[in-house]
Amino acid sequence: MADALTLLVGLGNPGPEYAGNRHNVGFMALEAIARRHGFANPKSRFQGVTAEGRIGGAKVLGLKPKTYMNRSGDAVAAAVQFYKLAPKDVIVLYDEIDLAPSRIRVKQGGGAAGHNGIRSIAGAIGPDFWRVRIGVGHPGNKDAVHGYVLHDFAKAERVWLDPMLDAIADEIGLVIEGKPELFMTRVAERLTPPRAAQTQDETG
């Protein structure tokens, strides 16, 4: 089982006009992982773009569906069928408006919570894949959600966005190893500034 394949999927919409959108944070996270771990030879396959690499001892195929968010399941199902994977071998990274910015939650299975990409994948391969939910915050008004997720991250949001993407890239191996709680803890620790009291103690 050491060489079993993990399919790591980042969700987003293709095209430069969407590249900086909050809805594309799954693409951003997968791109950060691919850079960090030296994934090689991007190819157009499975109605998406794939790149292969290793994270720790695990063989990983990264996949960015090019089917647009609402049909993400088409690309994921094509890869799953080709490699004869089970849903538990699939990890999907995507934006979550019901989590505060930079908060990360990992779970296996569950509902789509209104996310069309997750709904599409669940419809294609069943619900029992792993989800890495990446908090992008909520606009505060349900009617504003569509425009909010299809807008670029503000320049000021890079203060937390870039360190979060780096932390996900560094620690994602823990999810692949079946240690999602430790992954969430490690990412949170890296994004939480030191307490003021600790800083004062250190400076005397």
Active site residue ranges: 23
Mean predicted confidence (pLDDT) in 163-189 = 97
Mean predicted confidence (pLDDT) in 139-144 = 92
State the angle between helix axes of 25-36 and 158-171 in degrees (0 to 180), rounded to the nearest 10.
Answer: 50
Residue 197: its pLDDT value, please? 46
Residue 195: its pLDDT value, please? 59
Mean predicted confidence (pLDDT) in 167-183 = 97
What is the chain's mean pLDDT, rounded? 92
Residue 114: its pLDDT value, please? 86
Torsion sign (Cα): 91, 95, 98, 103: positive
- C-alpha pair distances (Å), 26 with each of 11, 38, 90, 160: 5, 18, 14, 15
Residues 60-95: tens digit of each pLDDT: 999 999 999 999 999 999 999 999 999 999 999 999
First to last CA, the chain: 52
The CB density around residue 203, as the number of other CB atoms within 10 Å, is 6
By percentage, how much of the chain surpasses pLDDT 90? 87
pTM, to two decimals? 0.92
* Highest mean pLDDT out of 27-36, 135-144, 190-199: 27-36
Mean predicted confidence (pLDDT) in 184-193 = 91
Residue 14: its pLDDT value, please? 96
Quick one: tokens of 23? 């809805």
Sheet holding 130-135, edge to edge: 40-45, 48-55, 58-65, 5-10, 90-96, 130-135, 104-108
Dihedrals phi, psi of 52, to nearest 5 degrees: -105, 150
